[in-house]
């Protein structure tokens, strides 16, 4: 079973964080996708702002389930904070492609304007008998 856990120690991620053009005083958060053997299978780097969550980087090892799970976990946590908008700063073309195909964003967009709509569509997908 896969768990998405927030990581407080960013030391092993500095090579990924340092090149990012982050605004000064960004309060970063990092969540990891961890399997039953406690192996990190992916991660996502993000920050909460008063109006939206910023998603700066992620690694999903080209796995659609990790991509989906990592993004949805951040969107869910944003909703719990009363946020309904997300902006992606992902530049990796293969991850961007998965974000588009998973319907988080459109090809020419980086913003989710309605997180609630994304999460509601997830429920509809689960209810579809073709997905059981």
Q: What is the pTM of this model?
A: 0.88
- Find where tokens 């992902």 sit: 90
pLDDT of residue 12: 94
Residue 83: which CATH number?
3.40.630.30
The pLDDT, as a whole number, for residue 75 is: 97
Domain that holds residue 59: 3-131
Domain total of the chain: 1
pLDDT tens-digit profile, the chain (132 residues): 889 999 999 999 999 999 998 988 999 999 999 999 999 999 999 999 999 999 999 999 999 999 999 999 999 999 999 999 999 999 999 999 999 999 999 988 999 999 999 998 754 454 434 344
Spatial separation of the C-alpha atoms in residues 132 and 39, rounded to whole Å: 28
């Amino acid at each position: 079973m896969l768990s998405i856990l927030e990581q407080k120690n960013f030391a092993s991620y500095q090579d990924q964080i340092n090149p990012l053009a982050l605004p000064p005083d960004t309060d970063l958060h990092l969540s990891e996708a961890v399997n039953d053997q406690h192996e990190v299978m992916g991660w996502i780097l993000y920050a909460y702002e008063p109006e939206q969550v910023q998603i700066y980087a992620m690694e999903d090892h080209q796995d659609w389930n990790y991509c989906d799970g990592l993004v949805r976990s951040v969107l869910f946590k944003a909703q719990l904070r009363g946020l309904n908008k997300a902006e992606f700063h992902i530049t990796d073309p293969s991850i961007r492609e998965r974000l588009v195909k998973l319907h988080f964003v459109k090809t020419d967009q980086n913003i989710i304007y309605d997180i609630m709509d994304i999460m509601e569509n997830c429920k509809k997908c689960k209810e579809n008998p073709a997905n059981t």
